[in-house]
Amino acid sequence: MDTMHADLLVIGFGKGGKTLAAKMGRLGRRVVMVEQSDQMYGGTCINIGCVPTKSLIHHAQTRPAGADPREWYAGSVAATASLTGAMRGKNFGMLDELDSVTVVTGTAAFLDEKTVEVTAGSDRLEITAETIVINTGAQNAVPDIPGLRASKHLVTATELIGSPDLPRRLVVLGGGYQGIEFAAMLSTYGTEVTVLEAGVRILPREDEDVVGVVEQILTDDGVTVRTGVRVTRVEDTADGALVHYEANGADGTAGTSGTLEADVVLSAVGRTPRTAELRLDAAGIRTTVRGAVEVDEHLRTNRPHIFAVGDVNGGPQFTYISLDDSRIVADQLLGEGKRATSDRVAVPYTLFMGPPLARVGVTETEALATGRPVRIVSKAVAAMAAMPRAGIVGETRGVMKFVIAADTDEVLGAAILSVDSQELINTVALAMRSGVTASTLRDAIYTHPSSTEAFNEVLATVVR
């Protein structure tokens, strides 16, 4: 067995870990990066997450009217694979070109709090390090439904985006962000999509009026959404999978039962931290009740020299949060040690359907629960005179909604369901962090024709 010693050992090639490894490597520190698969250099985002899904969404929305859906989809998957392959190579090169950084491909597991064993087939490598960063990410969860895990037609998001075969009939288990994104994307390619959600509505973190607009857009695009549905079992047949379900009536009483036929069943019920192979107990590292690595506001575990960054620590599962995690750890190792997760204010997110839904801050429901007096401004995109860009690009569906403090004029939150919302929300988030009032956003001068100028109109439209 070979041995190595490092100043910094990073387990997992995700955004936070690779950024920290590169920073330390450029300073001449001895760094070892361990990644389980050479198909995951660069992490979840570029390989099986943000980049490939958004690439497929882009190709879906740009399919020529006469193009065969199945051929276009196969070409889209191939083009996406080429893109992610190039990005994967670039990410590997980013570390490999640094003399003080060594990339090791294999499975890592703790032997003790200072030592990690990496295995690849019959090869074994023992690494000791002064500082260790766990960056193993999360994996798609599959619910314990009879017949589901054994079904030949079950896929997770990772498997679905890698297959060139366009499903004819897709059943999505879960009406959260991942489930709705895939439902919207596949329906645009021409797949018959049904979403089954156990809760009373999809996207439970969003306001009911916003969800209503989302559901209408999905319905217009051919997606069937069924809520209050419990899947009881999945059965493989000669023609695909038969999904058995029970639905509850609006009053909560037992309602109807039924079945759905599917070529593919997508499990989209969430993601769980990837820790099973790490042998955390050997290092005495504590985990939360949900299985995440337990960290403090500086991302230290209960072993002060071991940190956890990215999805594995149970925080928001966004690439940009992982990047900020790397800044916090770098400040601990190289700076004043003042940066913390508690510094984060107004972190936005986007659901990339068509058009995308972006949100930041609190919802109206959350604001009213605090008892603070608020004003709600909202307007449908189709009713806006000051947003010609929506008409120019042919996408006038959606709504913009802001929650504003009645006493201070602060923007407390926003939900923007419109073309370009993934960009608009960053302007709103920056305004919230900087103390820019709603009136200032309303009266600002924006370029024309742009989506941002919609703020001139919507922020003057008080609905309650």
pLDDT in tens, 185-200: 999 999 999 999 999 9
Q: What is the structure's pLDDT at 255?
A: 73
Summarize the confidence of residues 131-156 as an average pLDDT.
97
Tell me the binding residues for FAD: 54, 311
Report the candidate in 142, 158, 159 with the shortest Cα–Cα distance to residue 150.
142
Report the chain's mean pLDDT, rounded to a whole number.
95
Q: Is 362 domain-assigned?
A: yes
Instruction: Mark whether 239 and 169 lie in a shared domain.
Output: yes
Please check whether residue 114 is in contact with residue 128, taking contact to mean a CB–CB distance below 8 angstroms: yes
Q: What is the structure's pLDDT at 254?
A: 61
Q: What is the structure's pLDDT at 107?
A: 97
pLDDT band at 253 (very low <50, low <70, confident <90, very high): low
- Assess whether pLDDT exceeds 60 at residue 73: yes
> Which run of H or E residues covers position 350?
strand 349-351
Tell me the binding residues: 54, 174-181, 197, 270, 311
Among the candidates 343, 368, 384, a domain finishes at 343
Q: Is 206 domain-assigned?
A: yes
Q: Is 464 domain-assigned?
A: no
Cα(139)–Cα(177) distance, rounded to whole angstroms?
A: 15
Instruction: Mark whether 425 and 360 lie in a shared domain.
Output: yes
Among the candidates 318, 343, 368, a domain finishes at 343
Distances (CA, A) of 91 to 18, 40, 200, 325: 8, 10, 42, 18
Give me the catalytic one of 153, 244, 298, 448.
448
pLDDT digits (tens, 9 = 90+) for 169-190: 999 999 999 999 999 999 999 9
pLDDT band at 1 (very low <50, low <70, confident <90, very high): low
Q: What is the structure's pLDDT at 256?
A: 84
Tell me the binding residues for NAD(+): 174-181, 197, 270
Instruction: Mark whether 35 and 66 lie in a shared domain.
Output: yes
Instruction: Mark whether 130 and 213 lie in a shared domain.
Output: no
Instruction: Mark whether 23 and 101 lie in a shared domain.
Output: yes
Q: Is 463 domain-assigned?
A: no
Instruction: Mark whether 196 and 75 lie in a shared domain.
Output: no
Among the candidates 343, 374, 397, a domain finishes at 343
Q: What is the structure's pLDDT at 241?
A: 97
Cα(377)–Cα(370) distance, rounded to whole angstroms?
A: 18
Q: Is 158 domain-assigned?
A: yes
- Assess whether pLDDT exceeds 70 at residue 103: yes
pLDDT digits (tens, 9 = 90+) for 282-326: 999 999 999 999 999 999 999 999 999 999 999 999 999 999 999
- The pLDDT > 90 percentage for the chain reads 96
Instruction: Mark whether 93 and 170 lie in a shared domain.
Output: no
Q: Is 145 domain-assigned?
A: no
Q: What is the structure's pLDDT at 421?
A: 98
Instruction: Mark whether 213 and 229 lie in a shared domain.
Output: yes
Q: What is the structure's pLDDT at 463?
A: 86
Instruction: Mark whether 282 and 333 lie in a shared domain.
Output: yes
pLDDT digits (tens, 9 = 90+) for 202-214: 999 999 999 999 9
Instruction: Mark whether 164 and 221 lie in a shared domain.
Output: yes
pLDDT band at 464 (very low <50, low <70, confident <90, very high): confident
Tell me, what CATH number does 240's domain have? 3.50.50.60
Cα(296)–Cα(442) distance, rounded to whole angstroms?
A: 39
Tell me, what CATH number does 412's domain have? 3.30.390.30
- Assess whether pLDDT exceeds 80 at residue 15: yes
> How many structural domains comprise the chain?
3
Instruction: Mark whether 312 and 189 lie in a shared domain.
Output: no
Instruction: Mark whether 67 and 101 lie in a shared domain.
Output: yes
pTM above 0.85, yes or no: yes
Domain that holds residue 376: 349-458
Q: Is 409 domain-assigned?
A: yes
Q: Is 440 domain-assigned?
A: yes
Q: What is the structure's pLDDT at 249?
A: 63
Active site (annotated) includes residue 448? yes
Neighbours of 141 (CB within 10 A): 14
